[in-house]
Amino acid sequence: QVQLAESGGGLVHAGGSLRLSCAASRSIFSINVMAWYRQAPGKQRELVASRTREGSTNYADSVKGRFTISRDSAENTVYLQMNSLKPEDTAVYYCNAVNGWAVYWGQGTQVTVSS
């Protein structure tokens, strides 16, 4: 079992940056995949970025080159650095952990990008 707590969301102008953090309640060293998803109003939740325990990363086409996911096992934290933000990045961002058959979600943090 692991609890996830996101932070770092907020309101930012287009072109700005934010860094989201996801703090886990226990070590994430052995967790297979850590990821960030987002859900905009009226839309389905979508994968933004993921990072495996081995270091492989995957990004949605819409964020490639702008967002970077990283995981700090020593601090049990996963980060999402978001640069060159666009209004269409506005959504609730959720942290996700997959470990075998177990899937865990955080409560989400709101990111709003104004034009």
What contacts 83, CB < 8 A, 6 or more positions away?
A: 17, 66, 67, 68
Give the Cα separation of 7 and 74 in Å (integer): 18
Class of residue 24 by CB neighbours under 10 A (exposed 0-12, middle 13-18, buried 19+):
buried
Beta strands at 109-114 and 10-13: parallel, antiparallel or unpaired: parallel
B/e letters for 56-87, b = 16+ CB within 10 Å, e = fewer, are eeebeeebeeebbbebeeeebbbbbebeebee
Residues forming beta bridges with residue 49, ordered by sequence position = 36, 59
Is residue 82 within 8 A of residue 66, CB to CB? The reply is: yes
Is residue 49 within 8 A of residue 57, CB to CB? The reply is: yes
pLDDT at 5: 97
Q: How confident is the prediction along the chain (115 residues), in pLDDT tens digits per residue?
A: 899 999 999 999 999 999 999 999 998 888 999 999 999 999 999 999 999 999 999 999 999 999 999 988 788 999 999 999 999 999 999 999 999 899 999 999 999 999 9
pLDDT at 64: 98
